[in-house]
Chains A and B, each alone.
Chain A
Amino acid sequence: MKKRKKVSSFKRREHLTGLLFIAPMYLQFLVFTLFFLGYSLYMSFTDWNIVAGTKNFIAFENFVQILKDPIFWKSVWNTVYLMIGIPIGMFLALLMAMALNRKLPGKTIFRVSVYLPAVTSAMAIVILWRFIYNAEYGVINLVIQQLTGEAGPNWLGDPAMVKISLIIMGVWRGVGNTMILFLAGLQNVPRDYYEVVDVEGGNSLHKFRYVTLPMLSSVTFYVLITGVIGGLQAFGDQFIMTGAGPEHSAITIVYYLWQKGFAEYDMGGASAVSWIVAVMIFVVTLIQFKLSNRWVYED
């Protein structure tokens, strides 16, 4: 290490200019992120009621209450359950991406139609699916009725069906986006890798197993990480479509948080839930990163 030399005025000015350029970014981070992060952490230790205006320090009381609440655990279970949709969506997306990676007639139309939900307003999609799922007049049950003569399931009204309904809709909506990512990944696989398999006498299964899959592993990892983080934050579909659901069968952690904050005005409790979610996301993502060394192949 060299000793610090006296910096010339030109350099100092350049440093200053540099700092000035990055200042807004840091300022924004400090004001809009770090401050509220700290604030919500503090609030999670208070009995902050937004209507009553109380803000007394109550230590871990909020956390104790939440962890004792059966509905919180139900919301955790539901949130995890709903994430079954992630691997299903990834599998379907990969199949479609591989199909589209070949020369197929009508490829563009297919690509557009699969990607369409990704550019459609989330609100519109959920409202549309609420109609589709309508137990009496919904299109799915009308088809089931026509084909089998039996009444279809009560998609959104039966506690056993609600989560499955949400998963089906989620997969349908997300598959296009994931497919595009996989498609980009597939098109980045160098041709000569496949040729090597040919030369070695391997078949297409070998190509998939030893070239395609490893080459797609970083995309897969990205999709998985973002999917899980998004899954832990699930809220919007429930908010528009089901509410807490019959017998709290659709309540997710973030919906539980929202209820605490805006239905019970217990912002202290809501802050505590948000920290529990944050820690969960952090831990799960950390584990995924650690495990990724074993299966993600970096080119």
Chain B
Amino acid sequence: MKKTKRFKKLMAGLLAIATTATVVLTGCGGGDGGSSGDGGKSGNDVVITFAGWGSLAEKQNFTKMIDKFEETHPGVKVNYQHYPGTEDDYMVKLVSNVAANKMPDVFYLPTDEFVEWASADRLLDMTDYLAKSENYEDGKIWEKAVDMYYYNSETGAVGEDGGLYGLPKDLGPWAMVYNKTLFEQKGVALPDPVEPMTLDEFIDVAKKLTSGSGVEKVYGTANYTLESAVWSNNADYLSEDKKTITVDTPEFAEALQWVADLALVHGVAPTTSEAAASGWFERWCNGKVGMAWMGPWDQPTFWESVTFEWDIMPTPVNEETGKAISWLGSAALCVSATSKEAQVAYELAEFLCMDEEAQTINYESGQAVPNIIEMAENDYLAMDKMPANKQVFLDILKNPEKGQFKPTYYTKNSSWHDYFVTEANKVYSGEMTAAEFCKMIQSELQDRLNGNE
């Protein structure tokens, strides 16, 4: 009895010592940053790490692009860390890397994190690297896409002015997509490829497409993107200087109410309850909604699992303001400010962003619209795959009056926006009117925005 107890204690002690030792040792090992060698034969290779999230398709895609990079850069090995799952899961991992002082050399950064990271000096200033680059000249890639990753450390403003802290992985226009087969079945005229519908026409069309009940229910539209409704109604989330929350304007409330009423009054979109049960993506893929919103990154899944014909259409226009605005998504390719191989790391980011071979792989697999303008306007437009009306994507990309960045891109922390989205259920469920809600929530949001300044 005694012996076994002693033995157990001894084992516990040994285990404790072993654990301590491991932690201390790995802790020391972490000191040399991202370039953790692979310990293989390649003693003289430069090894850099590259981290990103995304689907398995995206992983395969980037593996191909990285292979190409290694071919053209002999002596460089890229250690690709792919995180399946969502952007949020990935950010948790990235933050723990910061804490452990083991930042990857090159990594994706969501746009709503950009200001926070740039202002924290975590990102390499690429201005000089880009200036010296032989692969880049003005007008080669979408101007907006490069401009958006400038950050001015004195004013805290983003866009155009300051240092360049990232290159665009892609620039993704959010466009309205429709189920062509369903339109034809219901005998509804197809949307014009150039002229946008008005918001009233949109509701009419959605009504004609709505039918059935229960599991057979088909809705005219999935839930409408609030940003689009708000911007098109001359409203915005933030003031010009991005310091004041402006959701309490009548225009904002009107837009929010319009979106909520699609389900509450017109019955042409899923209710909050139904949307919680199955999201727009599932409904769309199953042919249960006539119209929805998509980004280019949805193309591979649609090609694979959507059995009907579909196409994209111009963003519906607000007839009073004459505006039809949607949002532009992006993710940055950033280099860690502490990277020991900054030059090589920059070259990888640049390669992924604007090399012709890499960009070809990227658009052919359907991941994105090419960053290279010429390629987008020729090869991509000519690609024989849905959507047919790819010009809609390019229009949102090119025209500032058709595509804007989400409000969270401009602010250091997006918790104010998360708060808004969670609480907006009060309007979508019909518990409160948009006007009441917007008035009530403004100061809450403002506090949250200020708290993060």
**Chain A residues with a Cβ under 8 A of chain B:** 21-25, 27-28, 31, 49-53, 65, 70-71, 134-138, 154, 156-159, 244-248, 259, 262-265
- Does B188 touch A at the CB level, under 8 Å? no
Q: Which of A22, A53, A137 contacts B120 (CB 8 A)?
A: A53
Nearest Cβ distance between residue A239 and chain B, in whole angstroms? 11
Q: Judging by beta carbons under 8 Å apart, are B423 and A136 in contact?
A: no
- Does B16 touch A at the CB level, under 8 Å? yes
9 CB contacts below 8 A, A to B, read: A22-B9, A27-B16, A51-B120, A135-B276, A154-B277, A247-B423, A263-B415, A264-B415, A265-B95
Q: Judging by beta carbons under 8 Å apart, are B6 and A21 in contact?
A: yes
Chain A residue with minimal CB distance to B412?
A52
Q: Judging by beta carbons under 8 Å apart, are B415 and A50 in contact?
A: no
- Does B138 touch A at the CB level, under 8 Å? no
State in angstroms the CA–CA spacing of A245 and B277 once bound together. Answer: 14
- Does B265 touch A at the CB level, under 8 Å? no
- Does B14 touch A at the CB level, under 8 Å? yes
Q: Judging by beta carbons under 8 Å apart, are A247 and B16 in contact?
A: no
Instruction: Decide yes or no: A52 and B116 within 8 Å by CB, A21-B10, A27-B20 being known contacts.
Output: yes
State in angstroms the CA–CA spacing of A245 and B12 once bound together. Answer: 42
Q: Judging by beta carbons under 8 Å apart, are B413 and A52 in contact?
A: no
Q: Judging by beta carbons under 8 Å apart, are B422 and A246 in contact?
A: yes
Q: Judging by beta carbons under 8 Å apart, are B425 and A246 in contact?
A: yes
State in angstroms the CA–CA spacing of A22 and B99 once bound together. Answer: 32
Determine the chain A residues whose CB is within 8 A of the CB of B75 once the complex forms: none
Instruction: Decide yes or no: A50 and B99 within 8 Å by CB, A25-B13, A28-B16, A264-B413 being known contacts.
Output: yes
B61-98 interface bits toward A, Cβ cutoff 8 Å, 1 = contact, 0 = none: 00000000000000000000000000010011001001
Determine the chain B residues whose CB is within 8 A of the CB of A137 once the complex forms: 215, 277-278
Nearest Cβ distance between residue B132 and chain A, in whole angstroms? 29
Q: Judging by beta carbons under 8 Å apart, are B120 and A264 in contact?
A: no
- Does B211 touch A at the CB level, under 8 Å? no
Determine the chain A residues whose CB is within 8 A of the CB of B207 once the complex forms: none
Q: Judging by beta carbons under 8 Å apart, are B95 and A262 in contact?
A: yes
Chain A residue with minimal CB distance to B275?
A157
State in angstroms the CA–CA spacing of A53 and B15 once bound together. Answer: 33
Determine the chain B residues whose CB is within 8 A of the CB of A65 once the complex forms: 451
Q: Judging by beta carbons under 8 Å apart, are B20 and A51 in contact?
A: no
Q: Judging by beta carbons under 8 Å apart, are B274 and A50 in contact?
A: no
B contact patch SS: helix
State in angstroms the CA–CA spacing of A65 and B415 once bound together. Answer: 15
State in angstroms the CA–CA spacing of A259 and B272 once bound together. Answer: 24
- Does B273 touch A at the CB level, under 8 Å? yes
State in angstroms the CA–CA spacing of A265 and B429 once bound together. Answer: 31
Q: Judging by beta carbons under 8 Å apart, are B10 and A136 in contact?
A: no
- Does B418 touch A at the CB level, under 8 Å? yes
Number of residues from B at the complex interface, CB < 8 A: 42
Q: Which of A23, A135, A156 contacts B274 (CB 8 A)?
A: A135
Q: Judging by beta carbons under 8 Å apart, are B117 and A51 in contact?
A: yes
Q: Which 6 A-B pairs have the closest CB atoms?
A: A24-B13, A157-B276, A154-B273, A136-B277, A135-B277, A28-B16
Determine the chain A residues whose CB is within 8 A of the CB of B119 once the complex forms: 52
Instruction: Decide yes or no: A25 and B16 within 8 Å by CB, A136-B278, A157-B273 being known contacts.
Output: yes
Determine the chain A residues whose CB is within 8 A of the CB of B276 once the complex forms: 135, 154, 156-157, 246
Nearest Cβ distance between residue B430 and chain A, in whole angstroms? 12
Q: Judging by beta carbons under 8 Å apart, are B13 and A23 in contact?
A: yes
Q: Judging by beta carbons under 8 Å apart, are B273 and A31 in contact?
A: no
State in angstroms the CA–CA spacing of A265 and B98 once bound together. Answer: 11
State in angstroms the CA–CA spacing of A245 and B426 once bound together. Answer: 12
Query: Residue among A25, A154, A248 with the most chain B CB within 10 A?
Result: A154
Q: Judging by beta carbons under 8 Å apart, are B273 and A247 in contact?
A: no
- B271-298 residues with Cβ-Cβ distance < 8 A to A are 272-278
Determine the chain B residues whose CB is within 8 A of the CB of A159 once the complex forms: 425
Q: Judging by beta carbons under 8 Å apart, are A51 and B13 in contact?
A: no
Determine the chain A residues whose CB is within 8 A of the CB of B277 once the complex forms: 134-138, 154, 157
Determine the chain B residues whose CB is within 8 A of the CB of A49 once the complex forms: 120
Determine the chain A residues whose CB is within 8 A of the CB of B116 once the complex forms: 51-52, 265
Q: Judging by beta carbons under 8 Å apart, are A158 and B273 in contact?
A: yes
State in angstroms the CA–CA spacing of A31 and B24 once bound together. Answer: 11
Instruction: Decide yes or no: A247 and B425 within 8 Å by CB, A135-B277, A156-B276 being known contacts.
Output: yes
Nearest Cβ distance between residue A45 and chain B, in whole angstroms? 17
Q: Judging by beta carbons under 8 Å apart, are B215 and A136 in contact?
A: yes
Nearest Cβ distance between residue A242 and chain B, in whole angstroms? 10
Q: Judging by beta carbons under 8 Å apart, are B13 and A262 in contact?
A: no
Determine the chain A residues whose CB is within 8 A of the CB of B215 once the complex forms: 136-137
Instruction: Decide yes or no: A262 and B92 within 8 Å by CB, A136-B277, A157-B277 being known contacts.
Output: yes
State in angstroms the CA–CA spacing of A154 and B274 once bound together. Answer: 8
Chain B residue with minimal CB distance to A245?
B422
- Does B60 touch A at the CB level, under 8 Å? no
State in angstroms the CA–CA spacing of A52 and B277 once bound together. Answer: 38
Instruction: Decide yes or no: A247 and B422 within 8 Å by CB, A53-B120, A136-B277, A264-B413 being known contacts.
Output: yes
State in angstroms the CA–CA spacing of A259 and B414 once bound together. Answer: 12
Determine the chain B residues whose CB is within 8 A of the CB of A262 once the complex forms: 91-92, 95
Q: Which of A31, A135, A244 contacts B422 (CB 8 A)?
A: A244
Chain A residue with minimal CB distance to B424?
A247
State in angstroms the CA–CA spacing of A265 and B94 once bound together. Answer: 11
Determine the chain B residues whose CB is within 8 A of the CB of A71 once the complex forms: 419
Q: Judging by beta carbons under 8 Å apart, are B278 and A24 in contact?
A: no
State in angstroms the CA–CA spacing of A22 and B423 once bound together. Answer: 53
Query: Residue among A31, A49, A135, A137 with the most chain B CB within 10 A?
Result: A135
Q: Judging by beta carbons under 8 Å apart, are B98 and A50 in contact?
A: yes
- B104-145 residues with Cβ-Cβ distance < 8 A to A are 116-117, 119-120, 122
Determine the chain B residues whose CB is within 8 A of the CB of A70 once the complex forms: 444
Q: Judging by beta carbons under 8 Å apart, are B12 and A25 in contact?
A: yes
- Does B386 touch A at the CB level, under 8 Å? no
Instruction: Decide yes or no: A51 and B423 within 8 Å by CB, A24-B16, A157-B277 being known contacts.
Output: no
Nearest Cβ distance between residue B58 and chain A, in whole angstroms? 23
